[in-house]
């Protein structure tokens, strides 16, 4: 299940993942929000609170994630990945130098720090 998170600046895409995540849900919630922010702002800040594992994402959801990541590749500014799965954080730490923007990973207990970091204003 996916849900957008409130109380973020309008240039931030923020969502929480719990339990099973299917492709249609990912497309309707996350991809739609990313498209809205990409249309309105030159860059996108992004945070995902993973209270589930990537193994709970359907193949279609993972493909939608990859597709939207490349579609807006040059617009990513700050990406916070919040998860208690060490392997997920490690993969994003490895990918960080290869992608546009900056990726930081956080444990669930550090969610507030991640929210503050991703909520920073976009660069001028």
Compute how many other C-beta atoms are within 10 angstroms of the C-beta atom of residue 67: 13
Distance CA 11, CA 42 (A): 9
pLDDT, tens digit (0-9, with 9 covering 90-100), for 18-27: 999 999 999 9
Give burial (CB, 10 Å; 0-12/13-18/19+) of 16: middle
pLDDT, tens digit (0-9, with 9 covering 90-100), for 25-43: 999 999 999 999 999 999 9
Please, which contacts does 103-111 make with residues 24 or more away whose CB atoms are closer than 8 Å? 103/79, 104/78, 104/79, 104/80, 105/80, 105/81, 106/80, 106/81, 106/82, 107/82, 107/83, 108/49, 108/51, 108/82, 108/83, 108/84, 110/82, 111/49, 111/82
Give residue 18's pLDDT. 94
pTM given for the model: 0.90
Strand partners, 79: 46, 103
Q: Is the pLDDT of residue 51 over 90?
A: yes
Q: Is the pLDDT of residue 1 over 90?
A: yes
pLDDT, tens digit (0-9, with 9 covering 90-100), for 57-109: 888 988 888 898 888 888 999 999 999 999 889 988 887 777 888 999 999 99
Q: Is the pLDDT of residue 118 over 90?
A: yes
**Per-domain residue ranges for the chain?**
2-118
Give residue 98's pLDDT. 78
Give the pLDDT band of residue 14 (cuts 50, 70, 90): very high
- The CATH architecture annotation of domain 2-118 reads 2-Layer Sandwich (3.30)
């Amino acid at each position: 299940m996916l849900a957008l998170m409130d109380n973020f600046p309008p240039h931030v895409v923020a969502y929480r993942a719990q339990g099973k995540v299917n492709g249609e849900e990912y497309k309707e919630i996350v991809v739609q929000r990313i498209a809205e922010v990409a249309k309105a702002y030159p860059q996108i800040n992004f945070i995902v609170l993973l209270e589930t594992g990537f193994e709970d994402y359907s193949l279609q959801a993972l493909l939608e994630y990859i597709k939207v990541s490349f579609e807006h590749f040059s617009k990513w500014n700050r990406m916070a990945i919040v998860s208690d799965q060490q392997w997920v954080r490690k993969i994003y730490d490895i990918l960080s130098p290869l992608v546009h923007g900056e990726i930081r990973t956080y444990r669930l207990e550090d969610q507030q720090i991640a929210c503050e970091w991703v909520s920073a204003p976009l660069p001028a």
